[in-house]
Every structure is written in C-alpha cells, then in structure tokens.
Amino acid sequence: MKTAVMAGFVAAACVVGFTAGSALAQDAKAGAELYQKQGCAKCHGDSGAGDGSMGQKLKPAPSDWSKGGGGLKDLDDAKIAESIKKGGPAIGKSKAMPGNSKLSDADVTNLVAYVKTLKK
C-alpha cells in the first residue's frame, strides 16, 4: 500500500514538473516577443549583452547579462519583476532604467522568464 501511494506521489511530481517546464518555455517565448516590442533591446541588446544602440550611450552602460549575469546576478524573480515594473532605482540599479507600470503582471512574468534565459 505504501509503495503504491509513494509511486502515485512520484508520478504526480513528474507531471507537475513537466507541465511547469513547458509553461516556463512558453512564458520565455512570449517574453522574448515583448522584450522586442517594448524596446528593451534598444538598451539591453538583442542577446542581453548591454550593447543596444541606446545602451551604448548610457552612463553607466547596461551590464552584460550574457557573461555571468551582470546586473541580474543574485536577483530573484521578484527583484527582476520590480525593476521591470518600477524601474532600476526601485531596486538600487541604474536611474536610466525606466519603469513599465502599464505592463500586466503576466507580461512582467513573461519578461522575467525571458531575461533569465539570457543569463549565462
């Protein structure tokens, strides 16, 4: 009986894990589209290297997320989301990072999922 119950828990955990993994992939894909649409790449660059056309003119320039995480290093999802929604100063980052308060919570979640894929 205990073996059957344990097998049921393991099977349920696998299903939840696979579902969450595919949901994250979908969120990151939607976030990638939003990243371009909202103009994030203008500063942060297409690959998150901080080499966007506008970013090169900023002091300090956006950090290179593609090499060790840059300014994302040690930030959890909530802090990344707060920086997207309220701007860099809200979490002690660059004043040049504007807030995007009009984005829905789902959009912010998708952007967080995508930005995290840029961290190497």
Sign of CA dihedral 30, 119, 97, 50: negative
* pLDDT at 83 (0 to 100): 96
Question: In 3-state terms, the chain is what percent helix, strand and coil (to 5)?
Answer: 60, 0, 40
Q: Is 46 helix (H, G, I), strand (E, B) or coil?
A: coil
* pLDDT at 8 (0 to 100): 43
Task: Give the residue numbers spanning the domain of 105.
Answer: 2-118
Tell me the pTM: 0.76
CATH number of the structural domain spanning residue 20: 1.10.760
DSSP 70: G
User: pLDDT tens digits, residue range 33-81?
Assistant: 999 999 999 999 999 999 999 998 998 889 899 887 788 888 999 999 9
| Residues composing the chain | 120
Q: How many distinct structural domains can be found in the chain?
A: 1
**Start-to-end CA span in the chain (Å):** 45
